[in-house]
């Protein structure tokens, strides 16, 4: 297959998997396409970022309170991803607190209903996102800053799937993606995220806090990966969702300090 077809299939795969946007199915999904999809995740999230930006812009025009605007943004993102990442966050929290047995924890993550740890994780992370967004949307140019932060948060997926990170099990949606991203690809994705966060910070008044937020985001994702590898023997697709929501929370909280 040509590089162009791999890029096309990677973009289609990323868009159809990470959002509710309807696109034609990729012609194939192998390791190369899966890795490309994770590298292109911030680009594939552009429709989500645009939707969030429109919500902030319209909310400002109708004088919607900042807290209400924040929750409408979160609702829009949840609908735009079919709550896919939130499910991963809940399952990851439940799995990490279920048992000292990796096998039992992975079974809970695969089949179990949402438990207390999952509920707490979703409430806390969504609360942090709402708190950060409430402060951010008060800025004059918040609409495109929020859109850029949505896209930048998806860079966490390339970090999670970089070569060397093991998969906790051989089956499941994440198995094809985990370890499929070359180091160069992960670095390129982070550079794109750095540009996006810098522009977002500039729109709010200063790029420094948002760039620091990106560094903290990467550190938080690495800490999550380390915990999962030690606890589960690797990561799963659920961890990818957890990393995405955690990353967005970190970025908007950093932006809230501008």
Residue whose structure tokens are 């942090």:
128
Asked if residue 9 is part of any domain, the answer here is no
Number of domains in the chain: 1
| pLDDT reported for residue 182 | 97
pLDDT tens for each residue of 110-131: 887 899 999 999 999 999 999 9
26 in any annotated domain: no
Enclosing domain of residue 230: 46-255
Q: Is the entire prediction scored with pTM above 0.85? A: yes
Q: Kindly report, residue by residue over 2-19, the tens digit of the pLDDT.
A: 888 999 999 999 999 999
All residue ranges of the chain with pLDDT < 50 are none
Neighbours of 206 (CB within 10 A): 14
Q: Is 137 exposed, middle or buried (0-12, 13-18, 19+ CB in 10 A)?
A: buried
Indicate whether 145 belongs to any domain.
yes
pLDDT of 192-217, one tens digit each? 999 999 999 999 999 999 999 999 99
pLDDT of 170: 85
What does the pLDDT read at residue 213?
Answer: 98
In the block, which residue shows the tokens 């690809």?
185
Looking at residue 1, its pLDDT comes to: 59
Whether residue 52 lies inside any domain: the answer is yes
In a domain, 39, yes or no: no
Alpha carbon distance 245, 177 (integer Å) = 18
Contact 45/135 with Cβ under 8 angstroms? no
User: Is 28 domain-assigned?
Assistant: no
Indicate whether 16 belongs to any domain. Answer: no
Report yes or no on 109 lying in a domain: yes
């Amino acid at each position: 297959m040509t590089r162009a077809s791999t890029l096309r299939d990677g973009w289609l795969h990323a868009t159809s998997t990470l959002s509710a946007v309807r696109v034609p199915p990729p012609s194939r999904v192998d390791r190369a396409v899966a890795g490309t999809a994770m590298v292109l995740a911030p680009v594939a999230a552009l429709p989500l970022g645009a939707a969030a930006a429109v919500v902030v812009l319209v909310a400002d025009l109708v004088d919607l309170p900042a807290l209400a605007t924040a929750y409408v943004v979160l609702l829009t993102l949840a609908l735009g991803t079919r709550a896919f990442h939130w499910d991963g966050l809940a399952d990851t929290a439940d799995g990490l607190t279920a048992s000292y047995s990796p096998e039992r924890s992975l079974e809970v993550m695969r089949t179990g209903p949402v438990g207390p740890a999952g509920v707490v994780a979703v409430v806390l992370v969504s609360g942090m996102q709402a708190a950060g967004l409430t402060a951010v949307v008060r800025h004059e140019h918040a609409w495109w800053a929020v859109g850029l932060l949505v896209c930048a948060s998806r860079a966490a997926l390339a970090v999670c799937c970089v070569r060397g990170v093991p998969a906790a099990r051989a089956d499941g949606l994440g198995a094809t993606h985990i370890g499929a991203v070359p180091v160069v690809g992960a670095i390129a994705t982070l550079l794109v995220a750095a540009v996006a966060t810098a522009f977002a910070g500039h729109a709010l008044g200063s790029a420094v806090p948002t760039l620091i937020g990106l560094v903290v985001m990467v550190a938080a994702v690495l800490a999550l990966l380390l915990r999962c590898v030690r606890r589960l023997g690797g990561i799963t697709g659920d961890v990818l969702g957890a990393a995405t929501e955690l990353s967005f929370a970190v970025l908007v909280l950093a932006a809230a300090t501008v």
